[in-house]
Amino acid sequence: MKIFFLSLLLAASPFLAFAQGDVQTIPLKGAKAFHLSANMSGVIIHIGGSDEIKVQHFLTVNGKDRPDLRELDIDRSSRGLSLEELKPNDQILEKERSGNNLNVRHRPGVYKGEQHGGTQVVAYMEVTVPANVTLTVETLYGSIDVKGVKDMPEAKSRYGSITVVFAPDAKIAAIDYESDYQSIDLTLPGSIAANVDLDTQYGSLYTDFDISIKANSTDRNRRLESFSDGQLKGTINGGGDRISLHSQYKNIYLRKMK
């Protein structure tokens, strides 16, 4: 495990969109929190609007739109709104397999036919959420991509990556992001004050923040107590709420907003 301090950070690729897919509009009706749970799809979240959440659900098989394989469940409770993807799932898509391969992409892009052989599936959601709503997201297979968010305390993906860029004026409280098999890439305002806990077993840690790490007061060489076995603990700008990023197999990127 290695730690790298970045001087040059690459900008994220711009989001793309298809003209296909189901569109749903969910009135907030006073809700202040929104939880999104996706099974097979990747999730792309835009921040905008004031009184509703807009969801576009995309699924194509071999370049053909398949509304029969899409289904979302919306639940409203005293805690806020939640949206769960019921279809597609791996059992449903397995029935669409032709030949030896089933290739599933979780992001928008141009369908390229038989480039990889077998059945070609594209599954993702584009969601627009007002800035004043607290957002939490979990996915099973797909990635999570969010830009301009002001309040997103939790994100978890089993097989997908997590990429989150906060708004420059975001007032950030505690953050807990976890991806089991892919990378985590988090961009925060440079003025943030936080306690950080970065943890990976098989990947590397990258940051361009100045992180203060506790030193052993009895060790004149200031050996780092907080760093061991792929874990880095420290403070940014004197410390504050806890920022916890865990990726077991891939890299963690903690970026300072430019």
Q: What is the pLDDT of residues 60-108, one digit of tens each?
A: 998 899 999 999 999 998 879 999 999 999 999 999 987 778 889 998 8
Res 116: pLDDT: 63
The DSSP line for the chain is --EEE-S--PPPPPP---S-SEEEEEE-TT--EEEEEESSSEEEEEE--SSEEEEEEEEEETTEE-GGG-EEEEEEETTEEEEEEEES-HHHHHTT--SS-EEEE-S-----TTSS-SEEEEEEEEEEE-TTSEEEEEESSS-EEEEEES---EEEESSS-EEEEE-TT-----EEEEESSS-EEEEE-TT--EEEEEE-SSS-EEE-S--B--B-TT-TT--BSS-BTTEEEEEETT--EEEEEEESSS-EEEEE--
C-alpha dist (Å) from residue 140 to 35, 71, 88, 174, 199 = 14, 16, 12, 23, 20
Model's pTM, two decimal places? 0.86
- What average pLDDT does the segment 37-49 reach? 97
What is the number of structural domains in the chain? Answer: 1
Share the mean pLDDT of the chain: 86
- Going by pLDDT thresholds of 50, 70 and 90, the confidence category of residue 9 is very low
- Going by pLDDT thresholds of 50, 70 and 90, the confidence category of residue 177 is very high
- What average pLDDT does the segment 178-204 reach? 96
Residue 248 has a CB neighbour count (10 Å cut-off) of 15
> Over 50: is that where the pLDDT of 222 sits?
no
Residue 70 has φ and ψ, to the nearest 5°, of: -115, 135
Residues whose CB falls within 8 Å of the CB of residue 91, separated by 6 or more in sequence, listed in order: none
Domain span holding position 225: 3-256
Res 98: pLDDT: 77
- What average pLDDT does the segment 124-138 reach? 97
